[in-house]
């Protein structure tokens, strides 16, 4: 009767609960079924479901061959998980769920907050991964620089503007990158400046040949 009830009740909304129960009672079949549905439909998972997932379970879902998730969407989900779980996410887990083969690119929305998480975890672990390959922080910086107008320039303009209407229209209440270590702030702004110069040169060239 229990198996019949589970089949009738089994869905994305209940899978996280059944996964926890399956792990507790060593039900491997139910455990795998729960991981499969969560991996296949991870883009639909809400914050409430994320909070139910233990770090080991989240790692297994993201590492599952059944995973169906766009790279930038996965960066949003990982950020939400980190925010929901707080200190439960350590450097080892963060590196596993943000591997370059799973997440080659990071969304603009998650780039700065995820960069803060990565830097904080590096500091806690006592490591500096800035010069290594396949590291999350470089992908976050790349995303910030690609979208420098939104992630860097817009908040600066909003906060620094003396015109309250301009600040309200731009809608920025804080300058997020100023919470980062100074060296990373400098790297972000230097690369953004270079990106802005390239864009300006492209516009000039386009106007010149019209």
pLDDT at 167 over 50: no
- Confidence grade of residue 49 (pLDDT, cut at 50, 70, 90): confident
| Interval 19-30: pLDDT, tens | 999 999 889 999
SS3 content of the chain, % helix, strand, coil (to 5): 75, 0, 25
- What is the percent of the chain where pLDDT is above 70? 85
pTM, to two decimals: 0.82
Distances from the Cα of 112 to the Cαs of 2, 76, 135, 137, in angstroms? 46, 11, 15, 9
Joined tokens for residue 164: 């309250």
């Amino acid at each position: 009767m229990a198996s019949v009830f589970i089949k009738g009740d089994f869905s994305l909304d209940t899978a996280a609960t059944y996964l926890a129960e399956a792990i507790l009672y060593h039900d491997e079949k139910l455990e795998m079924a729960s991981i499969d549905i969560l991996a296949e439909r991870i883009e639909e998972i809400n914050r409430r479901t994320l909070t139910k997932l233990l770090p080991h379970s989240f790692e297994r879902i993201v590492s599952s061959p059944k995973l169906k998730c766009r790279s930038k969407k996965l960066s949003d989900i990982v950020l939400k998980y980190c925010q929901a779980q707080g200190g439960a996410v350590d450097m080892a887990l963060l590196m596993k769920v943000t591997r370059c083969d799973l997440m080659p690119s990071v969304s603009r929305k998650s780039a700065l907050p995820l960069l803060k998480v990565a830097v904080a975890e590096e500091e806690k672990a006592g490591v500096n991964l800035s010069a290594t390959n396949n590291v999350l922080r470089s992908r976050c910086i790349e995303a910030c620089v690609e979208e420098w107008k939104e992630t860097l320039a817009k908040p600066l303009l909003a906060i620094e503007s003396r015109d309250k209407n301009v600040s309200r229209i731009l809608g920025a209440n804080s300058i997020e990158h100023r919470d980062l270590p100074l060296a990373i702030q400098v790297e972000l702004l230097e690369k953004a400046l270079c990106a802005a110069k390239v864009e300006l040169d492209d516009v000039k060239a386009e106007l010149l040949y019209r």
